[in-house]
Amino acid sequence: MMQNKTGVWPRNLFGSAVPLVAFTAVAGALPLVLSGNRYLAFVAGMTMIHMLWACGMNLLYGYTGLMPLMFAGIAGISAYTVVDLTAAGWSFWLALPVGTLAASMAGTILGLPSLRLKGFYFTLCSLVIQTVMTLAFVYFSGLTNGDTGISQIPLPSAGHGKPLSGLAYDLVLAAAAVLGVIALIITVHSSLGRRLIAIREDDELAGALGINVTGYKMIAFFIGSLFAGIGGALYAPYIGFISPRSFDVLISMNIWLMVAFGGRGTIWGPVIGVALLAPLSYLLQEYYTIKDVLYGLLIIAVIVLMPAGIAGGFGRAPRLLSPRINLPTPRRSPK
Amino acid sequence: MSNANLIILLSTISTGLILGSIFSLVAVGVTIVYGSIWMPNAANGQFFVLAALLGWTATVSWGIHPAIAAILVIGLSVPLSYALEFVLIQRFYDVPNRNVSYFVLSLGITQILAGIFAFTYGRWSDQFQLPPLIGGITFVGPLPVANNRLLVLALALAILAALFALLRYHRYGRAIRAVFQNRDAAALRGVNVRASYSLSFVLGNAVIFAGGFLFALAYSFDLTVAWTMSITAFAIMIIGGPGSVLGALIVGMVFGFTQAAVSTVASPTIAAFSYLGAMLLILLFKPSGLFAR
């Protein structure tokens, strides 16, 4: 184990160092370069928030092998909590950790079905949870203002009463995205990350090797939901308007697509995926329905043509195909 | 019982029957496809709405009689399904854990169709209504019911009965059921597995199209019906037991009545909450469903 650590740690960290420096430079420079054009700066800022979400989704989907389609709903819990708390007079910077924690707790609890359900059944279950959350956002209109949504959410203040400037908040978002990627790199390269990967590869075998599968899946959900929560909390004041549709199943699918398209189970694949796909929906503006068609086509392309994404995925040989159709094939039980 | 209460009761029953039979149709279509080729078709709601919208175009825009339009639309589903099967679906027939791939694939199809609908039909109208098949009103006790809805109910039940007979007694139906149960044993007994797969995909989609068209004949609809229908059909399939046609039939009817009854006394949102909750419980505690085959 120690040999493995000294052998693997530095190389992996150095491997991430060059792209990390490049990413930090780009993320930090973008708000400054684009500060003349609020619209493009806004697109860049939204991309940064999607980076955070993609990191969380990547931890769950890419590294733990779970495919939750309720990610946007978890982000929504945090967004609504933060907006309600700031409306009640809290400072945004105090509401942010509270909302994030609320989202993480919710995410951990809502992730519990993953302990019993696998593959399609868990994905379906998370889809149902996402739908229930969207319905709940509409239904509990006392907290969420229902379908109308909450508008005119102010940017947070810098501590002495005045709201942050757009540029300052863009820099906050860039810093959050960079810290998110760093946190993901550290998580994945720690022993926790190796255990999660073991669970992804074969959770029964991982359990037999003494890994507490239940506990680690819950930890994965807690950390993944942290990303969702921070992203959701930062999202609300940035866009200034949230409604149940901001956190519906389409958004969950989009986040999944960015991770899968980029290359799940790699650090930089999803970052590239986000950089390519997230700006689209904001740049297309009134032709945004084209985005739905395009995303749908990309989903099919990812599934059919490149299951490993553009970054190549797990870095293993392609999985074995089962024999042709008229030969006996083992068929897994539904569970 | 006072007359007003009797009318409410009867109208709940009639709505429940019509909704239940249409839910059953769609859920049977979904469960046939899942049971045979293991594809959880999340795009069923979009197919459902596609049939309804094509029917709207044929009857309202082109002025074709609804009966002929129904045959045309349901007939059109066959080449469409074959094309989809040929291009996408058959690629995964040999992949071991293909239900996840299929699920995501069908979510992609959902997104494409939803985008197309929003871009085309969504710009033309909010609410769509088809002309009735037949006019007139029949009194069931004190309750007036449009003959059109009675005919829709009769047609839906007839299609369900025909489907049941087909699956139970006809050679093709027996082949499909044999592949349902054990693909390898069926192959050994000389069943053409691949043909049976594509047949069940086409059959399942045709049934979903029929459900969509009948729904559009009975009620006015909008584009949001699609997602509700997808989730409802999945809930019915999971609770009834994936692959179980009888389960889909019974649970579909129960859901129709629940929807009608809960919508009368509370809101449709409560109805949605209730069966999503039921589905979660079944998923967690009896994932093989109530009527597991």
DSSP A146: G
Neighbours of A92 (CB within 10 A): 23
3-class SS shares of chain B: helix, strand, coil, % to 5: 75, 5, 20
Q: Are B244 and B292 in contact (CB under 8 A)?
A: yes
- Choose among B97, B115, B283: nearest Cβ to A125: B283
In a domain, B150, yes or no: yes
In-domain check, residue A255: no
How distant, in Å, are the alpha carbons of A147, A243, A260 from that of A184?
34, 29, 16
What tokens were used for B161? 């009965």
What is the pLDDT averaged over residues A255-262? 92
For residue A2, being part of any structural domain is answered with no
How far apart are the CA of B146 and the nearest CA of chain A, in angstroms? 33
Q: Which of B18, B21, B22 is nearest to B211 (CA)?
A: B22
| Closest CB from B91, B122, B272 relative to A304 | B91
Tell me the one-letter amino acid at B39. M
Residue type, B158: A
- How many angstroms separate the CA atoms of A284 and A83, rounded? 28
The count of structural domains within chain B is 1
Measured between beta carbons, the chain B residues lying within 8 angstroms of A258 are: none
What is the pLDDT at residue A212? 92
Into how many domains does chain A fold? 1
**Is B269 within a domain?**
no
Q: How far is CA A282 from CA A148, A250, A295, B114, B145, in A?
A: 21, 15, 13, 19, 49
Assigned domain for B139 exists: yes
Answer whether residue A325 shows pLDDT above 70.
no
Residue A6 lies in a domain: no
Average pLDDT over residues A101-115: 92
Q: B91: which residues sit within 8 A by CB, 6+ positions away?
A: A304
Residues of A in contact with B101 (CB under 8 A): 303, 307
The percent of residues above 70 in pLDDT, for chain A, comes to 87
Is residue B104 domain-resident? yes
Residue A149 DSSP class: -
Give me the amino acid identity at B2. S
Cβ count near B152 (within 10 Å): 23
Q: Cα distance from B193 to chain A (closest Cα, Å)?
A: 7
- Does residue A323 carry a pLDDT above 80? no
In a domain, B261, yes or no: no
Identity of residue B191:
V
Contact by Cβ (8 Å): A78, A229: yes
Nearest Cα neighbor of B30 from B279, B238, B173, B271 is: B238
Per the structure, the complete domain to which residue B119 belongs is given by 15-223
Which residues of chain A lie closer than 8 angstroms to B242, CB-CB? 334
Going by C-beta distance under 8 Å and a sequence separation of 6 or more, which residues neighbour residue B67? B133
Task: Determine, yes or no, domain membership for B267.
Answer: no
Question: Closest Cα partner for A136 from B42, B258, B232, B270?
Answer: B270
Give the DSSP letter string of B23-65: HHHHHHHHHHHHHHH----TTHHHHHHHHHHHHHIIIIIT---
Check: CB of residue B255 under 8 Å from CB of residue B270. Answer: no
Nearest CA in chain A to B117: A289
Which segments within chain A are labelled E, that is strand? 150-151, 241-242
Contacts of B193 in chain A (CB under 8 A): 325-326
- Mean pLDDT for each consecutive 10-residue tract of chain B (293 residues)? 82 91 95 89 94 94 92 95 92 83 92 91 87 85 86 94 89 83 84 88 95 94 89 91 89 91 80 84 84 70
A282 lies in some domain: no
Lowest-pLDDT choice from A176-180, A249-253, B123-127: B123-127
Count other C-beta atoms under 10 Å from residue A299's C-beta: 25
pTM: 0.87
> Which one of A112, A120, A335 would you mutate to disrupt binding with B, by most B Cβ within 10 Å of its Cβ?
A120
> What's the confidence (pLDDT) of residue B70?
94
pLDDT value at A332 more than 60: no
**Cα–Cα distance measured from residue A55 to residue A230, given in angstroms and rounded to the nearest whole number:** 11
- A with B: how many residue pairs have Cβ under 8 Å apart? 135
For residue A13, the model assigns a pLDDT of 58
- Per-residue pLDDT reduced to its tens digit, A42-62: 999 999 999 999 999 999 999
Cβ distance of B112 and A292 shorter than 8 Å = yes
For residue A6, pLDDT beyond 50: no
**Nearest residue to B201 (alpha-carbon basis) of B24, B45, B32:** B32
Is B131 domain-assigned? yes
The CA distance from B50 to A96, in Å, is 43
Partner residue facing B115 (CB), from A292, A327, A335 = A292
Closest residue in A to B91 (Cα) is: A304
For residue range B246-274, list pLDDT tens digits in order.
999 999 999 999 888 888 887 777 888 88
B238–A304 C-beta distance less than 8 A: no
pLDDT above 90 for A255 = yes
CB A266, CB A189: distance < 8 Å? no
- When pLDDT is averaged across residues A189-204 and rounded to a whole number, the result is 91
Range(s) of the domain holding residue A76 = 16-248
Q: Return all residues near B84 (Cβ < 8 A) that are at least 6 apart.
A: B201
The H helix count followed by the E strand count for chain B is: 12, 2
CB within 8 Å of A73: residues ≥ 6 apart = A129, A130, A133, A134, A247, A252
Between β-strands A241-242 and A150-151, what pairing exists: parallel, antiparallel or unpaired?
Answer: antiparallel
